[in-house]
Amino acid sequence: MAYMAGRWRCLLAVAVAAVLSAAGGAGAQETCSGAVPAPPKRGEWVSVASFGGAGDGRTLNTAAFAAAVASIERRRAPGGGLLYVPPGVWLTGPFNLTSHMTLFLSRGAVIRATQDTSSWPLIDPLPSYGRGREMPGKRYKSLIHGNGLQDVFITGANGTIDGQGSVWWDMWKKGTLPFTRPHLLELMDSSDVIVSNLVFRDSPFWNIHPVYCSNVVIRNLTILAPHDSPNTDGIDPDSSSNVCIEDCYISTGDDLVAIKSGWDEYGIAYGRPSSDITVRRITGSSPFAGFAVGSETSGGVENVLAEHLNFFSSGFGVHIKTNSGRGGFIRNVTVSDVTLDNVRYGLRIAGDVGDHPDEHYNHNALPKVDSLTIKNVQGQNIKEAGSIKGIASSAFSRICLSNIKLHGSVPVRPWKCESVSGGALDLQPSPCTELTSTSGTSFCTNSL
């Protein structure tokens, strides 16, 4: 037994070294991954197999994961603890993480969610949403969950977290969901988080959801779900700050990356914006958007940089969306260096998207959309350039489009604009007249 423990510790050390080497091997590529330093050497390493777990794909390991995490929390080893998941298929229900912890999935390790939905616990709705996102009342807990944590590292040697989401998608399609579906990973009110070098697949709902978090790095992930799987967003930072998302391949049934900050009157009251977010080198495909802001933006979204994006076979390249009743703001957003292929709409900025939690929202709570720059976009096999549709009593302002060239096998349908001001430089097809004013062009030139 001591030999086996020493052996997996040795193999893990080699795997960790490979992961860290790969993370540092980006060369001259710009990165913000250093925003959260790699954790110190963990003082305790344990395997889920040591707590009665079995990676046979049949044994339910919920209690084993809970016991392993409890051991790390109880012992409080210097530098925290590491929970090792060996090769195998580890069937489990939802379990919590703890602070000062690394969850490490070895190559060939699969954490697989049970499809017994009756065994999934319920938790309270998020205060910035006021209810479950899909259904009133509570919501199902995420497969991997944490609340109020610090120094959490979720990584591996390309191990897989498998949500087995088809049973949940079927309930959604049949209208038999009793509560809002669970995420694969949700961390709440947590800081100093790294999620890297893993595969997420077939989430019941949104895949990765950091909410009310700060100092978060998400990088080197593959996130997969069928294009007809409902609401399987890839990565949704929500009312969170100092977030870095880099070097991911995502192909799902909804937006690949979507920045959010609460829903109507609940998000306005909670009042926590998403801010200082970088999204870089994302590749993928979706029937909806590659990169999105919204539509839940009631706490505000500001200071966002998204660059070096590559989307194909998708509904929208970039989709920035809000609605009357949302309140909040979307400002200081820059999207740059985007490549599109076989995308229906190159760009959409819209003030009429998204539903409401109930009938108590303030119809006069109008969002403020200001200072958005979209530049250096190249597209082929594009059907429609896109649209910018503000709200009549809250026009979108200082919208800058620059160096956007969208081509199709037939002429690309022209831009549509309404209740918007700003400027446009070097667009194909030609910009709408709302973006050709002298003052707007001057703003656009100064913002580049």
pLDDT tens column, 370-412 = 999 999 999 999 999 999 999 999 999 999 999 999 999 999 9
Digit-coded pLDDT (tens) for 45-64: 999 999 999 999 999 999 99
Is 254 considered catalytic here?
yes
312, 433: one domain: yes
Residue entry with tokens 């910018």: 388
Does 290 share its domain with 217? no
The arithmetic mean of pLDDT across residues 5-14, rounded, is 44
Alpha-carbon span 62 to 58, nearest angstrom: 12
Q: Is residue 106 assigned to a domain?
A: yes
Is 170 found in the same domain as 120? Answer: yes
Residue 229 lies in a domain: no
Which pLDDT score, from 0 to 100, does residue 438 have? Answer: 58
User: Given a cut of 90, is residue 10 above it in pLDDT?
Assistant: no
Is the confidence at residue 22, as pLDDT, over 70? no
The chain-wide mean pLDDT, for the chain, equals: 93
What share of the chain has pLDDT > 70, as a percent?
93
So what's the pLDDT on residue 34? 83
Tell me, what DSSP letter sits at residue 223?
E
Q: Is 243 helix (H, G, I), strand (E, B) or coil?
A: strand
Q: Do 140 and 274 belong together in one domain?
A: no
- Residue of 151, 192, 233, 254 with catalytic role: 254
Whole-number pLDDT of residue 20 = 43
Band (pLDDT 50/70/90 cuts) for residue 447 is confident
Q: Is 420 in the same domain as 278? A: yes
- Would residue 426 count as lying in a domain? yes
- Specify whether 282 is located in the same domain as 173: no
d(CA 224, CA 249): 8
User: Are 269 and 243 within 8 A, CB to CB?
Assistant: no
Domain count along the chain: 2
217 shares its domain with 269: no
The CATH code of the domain that includes 125 is 2.160.20.10
* CA–CA dist 299, 296 (Å, integer): 8
* Domain identity same for 169 and 275: no
Classified as helix, coil or strand, 168 is helix
Please tell me whether the overall predicted TM-score, pTM, comes out greater than 0.75 for this model.
Answer: yes
Q: What is the mean pLDDT of residues 189-206?
A: 98
Q: Closest Cα partner for 243 from 316, 192, 201?
A: 192
Residue 188 is inside which H or E element, if any?
strand 185-188
Q: What pLDDT sits at residue 66?
A: 98
Asked whether residue 8 is assigned to any structural domain, the reply reads no
Q: How many CB atoms lie within 10 A of CB 136?
A: 12
What tokens appear for 439 in the block?
């003052």
Other C-beta atoms closer than 10 Å to the C-beta of 305 total 16
DSSP H helical ranges for 148-249: 166-174
Q: What is the mean pLDDT of residues 205-209?
A: 98
User: Does 338 reside within a domain?
Assistant: yes
Q: Is the model's pLDDT at 35 over the cut of 90?
A: no
Cβ contact 338:369 at 8 Å: no
Please write the tens of the pLDDT for every residue from 249-304.
Answer: 999 999 999 999 999 999 999 999 999 999 999 999 999 999 999 999 999 999 99
Asked if 194 and 268 sit in the same domain, the reply is no
Same domain for 262 and 117, yes or no, is: no
Band of residue 13 on the pLDDT scale cut at 50, 70, 90 = very low
Whether 314 and 433 share a structural domain: yes
> Is there a single domain that holds both residue 95 and residue 181?
yes
336: amino acid identity, one letter: S
366 lies in some domain: yes
* 160 closest CA partner among 77, 246, 87: 87
Residue 23 lies in a domain: no
**Domain assignment of residue 79, yes or no:** yes
Helix (H, G, I), strand (E, B) or coil at 117: helix
Range of the domain at 367: 255-448
Nearest 5°: the CA angle 264, 315, 181 is 50
